[in-house]
Amino acid sequence: MTLELDGLTHRYGSERALNDVSLALEDGELVALLGPSGCGKTTVVQAIAGHLDPASGRVSLRGTDVTGVPPEDRNVGIVFQSPTLYPHMTVGENVAYGLESGDLTAGQVSGRVDRYLELVELADRRDASPKSLSGGEARRVELARALAPEPDVLLLDEPLSALDKGLRARLRDEIVRIQRETGVTTLFVTHDQEDAMSVADRLVVLRDGVVVAAGPPRRLYESPPNRFVASFLGRSNELSARVESDESSTVTIGGAEVALDEVPSEVTDTARATVHIRPSDLTVEAATQPDGTSGVTRDALDRSGASADGGQSDDRSRALEMRGTVTRVRDVGRRYDVRVELDLGEVVTVEMHRDKLSQSDRVTVSAAASDLSVFLVSN
């Protein structure tokens, strides 16, 4: 285990920042620590780097307890959200800075600087001033500076947040490439679920200083362990539901009943619950209704969700059906976001790929039981 946090707890004054945070990084792993701003991510980074003394808990690097060890003796590389290149040194001097504190000869330092500047593809900017670099270049030099001393762990604290969108995606790929090439154990801290999911081998989700989920990104996305993860990892519709655990064993959602055994959930007791459905997992069709004027007969208007699965959309898998009225169709470029107010008052958003509906159309919204995530409401 390269990095291990054990029961890390910290508070700023009376405010609790971290509560019993434990996580472990295997050698060479790229783990994303994901959470909304103010959830304690930076506190975790500061505690690992040694810039903060946690109230309790343990930080171990390569099996050694380093909780009381000052930052300079930890061998942890760090890249902050805001640029921290030294303006009074050249790019090369910045990268050499972390090497000169060790016992390398001048020649070794110079060779290492060249190698790491090449790694980030900025070898030709060695004598430049940091001020002359673009935002993306500055980030890469910071990566080179953090990596040059060959740290046990690399901490990236929101490394992309200050960049614009296109650059962000490019640098994200760049970080993954560099991480693969160097094999450095990396903790990538971000509030952006897209960044986190696209770079990480494993996700750790932090909320209000508590780890609420950990696991492979795809698994957390598809079967979120709790409501927070369901809504934080990608977009999600939340509907209230009631679970009947008597002989019928059904979940009642928006007036429709779904057999409980078809729904992936561990809910058993009679209880109030919430159901999460991803907008892309919902299908919307013009309603077939006796009082309908058009009398459209269940023509599927948008089958993108089903066709992507190879047309396995038989009636049985569309277990949940709810009636509603379209309140808004928003064109967001790649798709349309259709907002439907269900007859029972709740509102859902459905992603469509064709624009066939307009406001105040009567529709049927349906979803496969396997795409539902049911969570108990505890209070």
Enter the tokens of residue 78.
């760090």
Q: How far is the CB of 27 from another protein (least distance, A)?
A: 20
Is residue 11 close enough to count as binding another protein by CB under 8 A?
no
Is residue 12 close enough to count as binding another protein by CB under 8 A?
no
How far is Cα 120 from Cα 277, in angstroms, rounded to an integer?
A: 41
Taking a C-beta distance cutoff of 8 angstroms, is the pair 305, 282 a contact?
A: yes
The residue within the footprint of another protein, chosen from 10, 41, 74, 207 (CB under 8 A), is 74
Is residue 296 close enough to count as binding another protein by CB under 8 A?
no
Is residue 47 close enough to count as binding another protein by CB under 8 A?
no
Cβ nearer to another protein, comparing 45 with 233: 45
Is residue 82 close enough to count as binding another protein by CB under 8 A?
yes
Residue 62: C-alpha distances to residues 2, 4, 71 (Å): 4, 8, 15
Q: Please count the residues of this chain forming the interface with another protein, following the rule CB under 8 A.
A: 30
Q: Which residue stretch of 122-130, 215-223, 230-238, 292-300 sits at the interface with another protein (rule: CB under 8 A)?
A: 122-130
The residue within the footprint of another protein, chosen from 11, 51, 318, 323 (CB under 8 A), is 51
Is residue 80 close enough to count as binding another protein by CB under 8 A?
yes
Residues whose CB falls within 8 Å of the CB of residue 71, separated by 6 or more in sequence, listed in order = 49, 50, 51
Q: Which residue stretch of 84-92, 251-259, 261-269, 279-287 sits at the interface with another protein (rule: CB under 8 A)?
A: 84-92
The 3-state secondary structure of 292-322, one letter per residue = CCCCCCCCCCCCHHHHHCCCCCCCCCCCEEE
- Can you state the percent helix, strand and coil of the chain, rounding each to 5? 30, 30, 40
**Looking only at residues 143 through 182 of this chain, which bind another protein when binding is defined by CB under 8 A?**
145-146, 149
Task: Give the H/E segment covering residue 17.
Answer: strand 15-25
Residues whose CB falls within 8 Å of the CB of residue 55, separated by 6 or more in sequence, listed in order = 9, 10, 11
Q: How far is the CB of 9 from another protein (least distance, A)?
A: 21
Is residue 9 close enough to count as binding another protein by CB under 8 A?
no
- Which residues contact another protein (rule: CB under 8 A)? 49-51, 70-72, 74, 76-78, 80, 82, 84, 86-90, 97-98, 101-102, 127-129, 131-132, 145-146, 149
